[in-house]
Every structure is written in C-alpha cells, then in structure tokens.
Structure 1
Amino acid sequence: MIVHFAVDLHRELLHSRQEKLDTVISSPFSIAAVLSMTLAGARGKTAEELLSVLRVKDDKVHENFAAFLPKLSSHSHKLQFHLANRIYSDQKFPVVENYVAFLNSSYVSTILSVEFEKSESVRAEINDWVKVTTESKIVDMLGPGIVTASTGVILVSAIYFRGLWELPFPTSSTSRHEFNVNSKTKVEVDMMHQKQEFAIARSDELKARAIEMPYKGGKASMVILLPDDIDGLSHLEHHLSHCKLSTILADLKETPNVQVSLPKLSFQQGLSLKSTLTAMGLNDLFSTSCDLSGMFKTGRPSVFELVHRVFLQIDEGGTEPGPATAGEASAPAGPEAAQTTEFLVDHPFMLLVLKSKSDVVLFIGSVRRP
C-alpha cells in the first residue's frame, strides 16, 4: 500500500532539500493518509494526480486505510504511537456533510472550518491540538507565517513513535562509541549493544546489509539498511527502488548470534511538503485548478500547504527497567558459539519502521549524523 510511495517520497525529499541535513526522515504512512483523505473529496485531474502520486487504485485505498487505522490505534500502548492528521479549511467554504462523515468512519479524522483571517489564532489552535494529540511530544507544529488570511485549505500531518523492542537493549551495555560521519569525520554517540537472533539480509545491488528488529507485540519492526562502505549511503539512496526494497525485505533470514550495535537516536523534523509533492506530480492540488468539489459545496479553494512533522525516538526500549540480563542471548554449545555475525551501525545508514506482515512504511529516513 505504501512502499512505492515511500521510496518515491524519500528520493524526492533527498533531491529537493536545499540544505544538507544530517537526517531526513518522514512518515509516508501519515502523509499518504492525509493525501487519501483529500483524495476522497477531489475530482477530475486533481483526483487523477493524487492516485498517480500515491500509486493506488481508488476502489482500494480508502478501504485499506479504514481497515488499518483502528488496528494501529489498538496497539498504541505497546508502540507509543500517536497520529495527528486533520484538514483545516476556511469557513467561507461550506463542507459537504457526507464528506465529514466519511472521514470520521474511514480515517478516524475530520475537517474543521476555521477563520483564516485570524491566522495567529488558527495557528495556535492547530498547534494546541497537535500538542494534546501527541501527548506534548510535538509542539509548535506550525511556525509563524505558515497560515495567512488568504489560506483556503491546509493539510496537517503529525506523528510520534517510540516502539518498545521485543528484545530490549540492556542499558548497562550502552557506551560511548565513535560514529563515522564520513571517511574524514568522526563523532561520539551513545551506542546500544546486544547479541541475539535477528533476521539479516544482503543486497549486492544496493551494496548494503539489512537487519530487522521487531517491536513488542510483533505488530511492527525497524529495519536498518547499512551500506558496506562508510561513504556508501548516497549509492544506497540513489539505487533504492520499491522492487529492490521489497526484495531485501523478503530475503531477511533469521540468524543466530548477531551482535548488533545501534546508536541511540531522537529525531524531530518538520517539513513543508508543497514543493516536494509538486515535483512528484501533484500540480492541481496546490493551484487555482484544484477541484475539491466532493469536499466543498461551493467555492474552488486550493491546498495552501501540507505541513508534516515527525518525532521518532530510538532507545534501549523499555518502559520499565528490565533484569540485568535482558537482551543477552544464552551462549549455544558446540561450534556455533564462535560464529558471531557483527552488525555495527557506526556510519551513515537508512532506517524504516514497518507494520509487520504488510507493505506499510510508517517511517523512512536517512541518518548521516545521529
């Protein structure tokens, strides 16, 4: 449902960024959800472009989200997952009642009519709602000037995630370790360590290895794509396609005695996606040609901006301190005891958070400096 869009989006974010960022991370799932909400009210060329960019078929996308979103919410206590997606429109454009009912039933969301002429008041209202919905993890969703008196429609997409590992890293093993930003620059990071059985794979085309680390409850997992070379991330980003990603994920194989070392990370990143989505082919949505006649009874407003913010936290992964031996594998007897596979994440890499047993990409990112 999301893999193809996720790869397209990440590639365009990397290509279109005007400044070199140490981390580029987004939630394709969250963005696709708010775009699909918009699709439900779009008509004509606007709808066609949304379908094309999302790489979905109209008769399935809403059905898939309607089935998936309640399941995700039901696991939020294990995944610490908070999603804040909403559409805001100016009150001078009356909203179709059936559209409001559809958003509520299929997306557990809504569209709110506001008075954009009072732009600072509206900005504060949106920021307060996101702050409450994400339990104060995401604050100041919209910066000054994001909404103006001339804004017709704005799409808001925010997501906070902190998963609890199925196999937590023992906090006593976390230590300072060098991370190679590139072949010339090193920084010190807090590195987590554990030896366990993990699924790993390799792609010669991508010149990278992959490791999958499941979250508690088996409903989601994190996959790290680690280039073979310190300076290999650009090659991985350039050559990654949805087919190659699907292949390496399918090739993941459980392997005993994997010594994994992973930096502790905490990312919060805000993105205004209008230019990125326009480059991907969404032209009508942000122009005067925008057709949202399934959303509004009268008027022809266009979408002013899609504002997206993510907060992703990666740590040892327990709400309660575990026993001192948590995350330590028992040593096998015989020849296998000497066969340890090292997976040392000490240079730039990609990460994905995936919904287990599905092609839903909750997060995708490139990390150059933790």
Structure 2
Amino acid sequence: MKSALYLCLLLLGLQVQGQQQEQIQHSPEAQSQADAENLPYVKLAPSNADFAFKLYKQIRDELGDKNIFFSPLSISTAFAMLSLGARSNTLRELHKGLAFNLTQVEEQEIHEGFQHILQLLNDPHRAAQLSVGNALFVDKQVELLQDFSDRVTNFYYAEAVSSNFQDPAEAIKEINKYVETKTHGKFVDFVKNLEPDTVMVLLNYIFFRGSWERPFNNLSTRDDDFFLDAKNSVKVKMMHQNKHFNVHRDEKLSCWIVEIPYKGNVTSFFVLPDEGTMKQVEEALLKETVSDWLRSFQKRKIYLDLPRFSVSSSLDVKSLFEKMGVKEVFSDQADLSGVAKNLLLKVSKAIHKATVDVRENGTEAAAVTMMEIMPLSASFPPPPHITFNKPFLMMIIDKTTDALLFLGKIVNPVAKED
C-alpha cells in the first residue's frame, strides 16, 4: 500500500473596504514589450486561464445550481508544486490537467512563472492585502529528496514543518493552528481527521483583503429582492452606486460586464447574464472571451445595484481532477518518486475551501458619511440601470500578473454552505 499524501488547498477570499496605503507598482512596463512577453509568468498566464475555466465548468456540472467560489491560482499552484516530485505518466497527466502546453512553455519556466507570481502577489507594498503561501507538513520518519526540498523552497517558498503523524491528534492540532494563523482566524479546525497512513500534508493558502477604489455608501444600502429563479426570491441587502464604471454589453452572449476596481492593481469583473442565458455565458467562459470584454470596455455612467453577500464553498478536488483525466496521482500507480527517499506515495485526498465577503465597509466600528453634490445635467440617453438581482458570475484578477485569483457564481447570496 502506498503512503498517503494529503493535499489541502485552502483559500480565504475576504473583500472588505478600509484605509490602505497607495500601492507601489512593480510591473515589467520598463522593459521592452518583447522582453515582457518572454517572462515566464507572462507565458504561464494563458495556461492558468485555460485551467481556471475548464475547472469552473467541471465544478458547475457537479454542483448544479449552487454557489461556486474558488481560487484557480491556489489549486494550480499546489499541484504545480507537487509536480516537482512527479514522474512519467503521473507528471504528464498533471501537466495536461493543469493546461500546461510544453511546446509553448518549458517545464522549468512553469516553476519560474509561479515563483515570480508569488513574489509579485506577496509584495508588502501592495494596496490590496494579499498573501499566498505553501507549506509541507512531513512526518519525522520521512526524508524528502534534497532536489525536491530545494526546488519547492526556491520556486514556491514552501515552509517544511516536521510533524509526528504517528500522533494524528497532535498533527491535526499543529496543522489547524498554522491554518488559523495564516487566515487571520477565518478557518478554525480546518482539518477534521487524517487517514491512518498519512505521512505528509501539502497545504496552500490565499488571504485577500481589498478596498474598493470607490466604496459604496452604506446609507444607500437597502433591502431588496434577489431572484433565484422565475418563481423564488430571497431578501438581500442591496448596495448602490451612481458613478462611472468600465462597462460592456455583450449582445452576442446577452450579458452585462461591469468592472469594479480595488485600490492598487487588483480588479473585479461582475457578469450579469440576461434571464435564461447563464448557461450560454458559462459555456463561453474562455480566456479569449475575457480578453474581448477587456478590449470592449467603455467608461460610462451607470446606476449599479450589487448585493452585499458572504458565501463559502468546499470542493473535493480529487473527484474533480479524476473527472478531468488526472487520475494516476491518486492511485496505486502514482509515480511521486521524486518527493521522498525510499517511499512510494500517492495523493489520498485533495480538498479546497473558500470564502468571500463583499460589502460596502469592512470596519463595522467605523462609519463614514459622505455626500457628493454635483450639478444637474440632462443626459440622453439615460445611464443604464444594472441590477445584480439574479444569479451572476464574478472574477477577481491581479492586473500585475494577469492571474485569475478568484472565480465564482453567486446563485443565492444568503445561502449557507452545505
């Protein structure tokens, strides 16, 4: 029997509004266009986008009409790190599943790309607070191969923690304490149990806190209906703004796309399909579609209604990956011979948890009242009124790296996780 490697993919996406420092930009703009396009993280962006939308559709098919929220970057980072120890067909399946095209980006460039993404995302000078990290909890009796240990540390900044898995309760306590600390207390008792033969836990986390470039005024928030379908609705707190945004109306897909930027270099897209067109918009979710939306944005004044919401989700990544053709790494045929000395390993479990909180003001103890006074103007035609009062899609993108940090579908803003 192969020893078990427990893969924990942990995401915390917390969007709140508060005072932040101005961001110091770190971008390749000073380099020539040709040089910038050859940077590993730039070459990696199309693959990561392909993987994100492919995984989204697999999740959609499995969950049906439920809230979806996950971090494609968190999942791809964890499995890319694991691939450093994979060999033969196990490695080929991982590369294919993660949408890495080795004719366009070399294997070394994949890891250099993630290394650069992690450097840029963890920049302490960013206006949006963002921390991404990896850890390996390794049984005291397991000796990692030096090459694997060096590369996960060099490319993925992984912390290696020596643990005693012979005492599962103590190991679980240690892992949960780490998770709770790294996610600022948002995930407590994350790991409930470990399989008896577990010898290693690989963990990835993301914590995000961003403030809107232009916060919503909480005095404008009101109770409103959110329509789950043609017959059913729930009450939500609906936020409101009447300002200029980047907006695009995609007539072909019958949807509105509104960009709501955060301070710094992170932005969000909210996609509102017309009644009955969600599935066709989901099917069209490709990197080319998002690129078209980016090119088509126009700055225009709109009446925007967006619900305040907080949703969480849990994913069985093992099941999802197996349905996407990544099977061997979870089986007794797994070849992870590049991880540890004299030890046959397979991934026994891969889980991913995510939570997101979208609201006007993230500090309940403070309140700001602001009135904007402007001259009346006759606008013709009148600004469109875009109301997110039915299921919609959202994505959060880091503009420095083009990384799709978060991707989700909000079907019911007040639903609790199953």
Q: Normalising by the residue count of structure 1, what TM-score does the alignment of the two structures yield?
A: 0.89
Q: Distance in 1 between matches of 2:296 and 2:142?
A: 50
Match of 1:133 in 2: 182
Change (3 A) 1:293 1:258: same
Q: Distance in 2 between matches of 1:212 and 1:236?
A: 17
Structure 2 unaligned runs (5+)?
1-44, 414-418
1:206 corresponds, among 253, 258, 262, to 253
Contact 2:78–2:134 (CA<8 Å) still a contact in 1?
Answer: yes
Deviation, 1:175, is: 0.9
Q: Distance in 2 between matches of 1:313 and 1:335?
A: 35
The reply on whether 1:15 has 2:61 as its aligned counterpart is: yes
Q: Distance in 2 between matches of 1:113 and 1:294?
A: 19
Residue identity matched to 2:169: E
Contact 1:160–1:310 (CA<8 Å) still a contact in 2?
Answer: no
Contact 1:271–1:309 (CA<8 Å) still a contact in 2?
Answer: yes
Moved more, 86-95 or 45-54: 86-95
Change (3 A) 1:329 1:369: farther
Change (3 A) 1:75 1:6: farther
Contact 2:329–2:346 (CA<8 Å) still a contact in 1?
Answer: yes
Match of 2:409 in 1: 366
- Alignment length, in residue pairs? 360
Change (3 A) 1:283 1:227: same
The reply on whether 1:241 has 2:286 as its aligned counterpart is: yes
1:4 corresponds, among 50, 59, 65, to 50
Q: Distance in 2 between matches of 1:4 and 1:205?
A: 21
Give the SS at the match of 2:345. Answer: coil
Match of 1:119 in 2: 168
Match of 2:225 in 1: 178
Contact 1:7–1:240 (CA<8 Å) still a contact in 2?
Answer: yes
Give the SS at the match of 1:199. Answer: strand
Give the SS at the match of 2:198. Answer: coil
Give the SS at the match of 1:9. Answer: helix
Give the SS at the match of 2:155. Answer: helix
Deviation, 1:302, is: 0.6
Contact 2:69–2:355 (CA<8 Å) still a contact in 1?
Answer: no
Match of 2:394 in 1: 351
Match of 1:78 in 2: 127
Deviation, 1:340, is: 1.2
The reply on whether 1:162 has 2:209 as its aligned counterpart is: yes
Match of 1:188 in 2: 235
Deviation, 1:130, is: 0.6
Match of 1:228 in 2: 274
1:60 corresponds, among 103, 109, 119, to 109
Contact 2:67–2:412 (CA<8 Å) still a contact in 1?
Answer: yes
Q: Distance in 2 between matches of 1:286 and 1:110?
A: 23
Contact 1:25–1:269 (CA<8 Å) still a contact in 2?
Answer: yes
Give the SS at the match of 2:225. Answer: strand
Change (3 A) 1:9 1:87: farther
Q: Distance in 2 between matches of 1:45 and 1:84?
A: 28
Match of 1:275 in 2: 319
The structure whose RCO (Cα within 8 Å, separation 6+) is larger is 2
Q: Distance in 1 between matches of 2:337 and 2:69?
A: 33
Contact 1:90–1:152 (CA<8 Å) still a contact in 2?
Answer: yes
